[in-house]
Amino acid sequence: MAKVAIVTDTHFGARSDSIPIDNFIRKFYEECFWPEIDRQGIRTIFHLGDCFDRRKYINFNTLKSCREYFFDQAQKRNIRIVMIVGNHYTFFKNTNDVNAPGLLLKEYDNISAYSGPTNYLIDGRSILLMPWICSENYEWSMEAIKESDSKVCFGHFEIAGFQMYKGHDNDDGFDPKLFKKFDLVCSGHFHHRSNRDNIYYLGNPYELTWADYDDPRGFHLFDTGDLSLEFIQNPFNIFTKIYYDDTKDIGYTEEDFANKHLKLIVVNKTDHYKFDKFIEKIYSANPLELKIIEDLSEFESDALDDGNIDLEDTMSLLSQYVDSLETEANKDRIKTIMKTLYVEAQNYDEEHS
């Protein structure tokens, strides 16, 4: 038996093919992922879906870049990549037939991409590979889960009761009981790393939006013998909150600001000149973005009576608002819809800003 690597939801081309984000992704592979792969002598990498970010097209610079720091590096090392199709790179929503790996990666003889359920044998261990389940392959997928003798399942699932993002549950999707026959289920799709019983959401390798802030990212090593998972944490971050209080020692350096998306939260500002000099210090370090949160009075309301609420957390405000409603409707369902719309609106704003 041997160890293999598992990575998922790499989303090459994220944030409208942002070059700073791509540079941040490259840093993870060059300084964290490949050094660990070499150190451990890994010969196989499983990718559990959503390798590329866009469903319908590819940016040429993004394709060139991810070839350099991911696909070419695996080929150079003679490492096999076993991929399953995720929802982010299927052109149609009702079938997996037209997908990015099948069209963009044919020239790599070390890559196998699966668009339908497959029992994959490695080191004597059978693993049921389950790509994104859509209307076309639903019956096939349910039959594969029922008939498979594998103790391990790798998939790209939407399972109810797990967190899409840190602190925000998903109430829709498959019942976890569907997968109770397996000793271990590893899934992509949700970007927050979590587990319950035999089901593990592995999370994506790096931060891509503010929803990922302060939530450990990385990849996993899987032992095909004892079925254990080892988490290798990504040491790099690109989203940083800075708390400004000039009544205390601020203690930040320019290294904390360079090439980062920053939120400056002003706790105390007694000296305007000192504050302006601090802002100049931040800008001189060339951050990618700076948002200053200084006046939180817009959040002050008699309706918000929980003194412990995080005023920066829009989703918490939405949840509290729904809880205050007098309605016979399913409040959890309303919360899920509002959270989904919020995330989609946030992503749309980031992609069109």
H, E, C per residue of 283-327: HHCCCCEEEEECCCHHHCCCCCCCCCCCCCCHHHHHHHHHHHCCC
Q: Are strands 118-122 and 125-130 parallel, antiparallel or unpaired?
A: antiparallel
The reply to whether 188 and 280 lie within a common domain is no
**pLDDT computed for residue 305 by the predictor:** 46
Q: In Å, how far are 13, 50, 58, 102, 224 from 61, measured between CA atoms?
A: 9, 18, 9, 19, 36
**pLDDT computed for residue 87 by the predictor:** 85
Q: How confident is the model at residue 304 (pLDDT cuts 50, 70, 90)?
A: very low
The reply to whether 51 and 87 lie within a common domain is yes
What is the DSSP track for 216-230?
--EEEEEETTT--EE
Q: How confident is the model at residue 172 (pLDDT cuts 50, 70, 90)?
A: confident
The reply to whether 68 and 111 lie within a common domain is yes
Residue 118 resides in a domain: yes
**pLDDT computed for residue 313 by the predictor:** 62
265, pLDDT greater than 70: yes
- Rounded Cα distance between 126 and 148, Å, is 9
Mean pLDDT of the chain: 88
Of 211, 233, 255, which residue constitutes the final position of a domain? 233
Of 294, 318, 333, which residue constitutes the final position of a domain? 294
The reply to whether 167 and 49 lie within a common domain is yes
**pLDDT computed for residue 300 by the predictor:** 45
| 130 φ, ψ (degrees, to nearest 5) | -125, 100
**pLDDT computed for residue 331 by the predictor:** 78
Q: How confident is the model at residue 239 (pLDDT cuts 50, 70, 90)?
A: very high
**pLDDT computed for residue 347 by the predictor:** 55
- Rounded Cα distance between 267 and 287, Å, is 21
The residue segments making up the domain with residue 255 are: 238-294
The reply to whether 102 and 223 lie within a common domain is yes
Q: What angle do CA 194, 213, 50 make, to 5 degrees?
A: 60
The reply to whether 283 and 337 lie within a common domain is no
116, pLDDT greater than 60: yes
Of 183, 214, 233, which residue constitutes the final position of a domain? 233
Contact 293, 263 (CB under 8 A): yes
Could you read off the pLDDT of 40-64 as tens digits, one per residue?
Answer: 999 999 999 999 998 888 999 999 9
The reply to whether 289 and 149 lie within a common domain is no
Q: How confident is the model at residue 302 (pLDDT cuts 50, 70, 90)?
A: very low
Could you read off the pLDDT of 330-339 as tens digits, one per residue?
Answer: 777 787 777 6
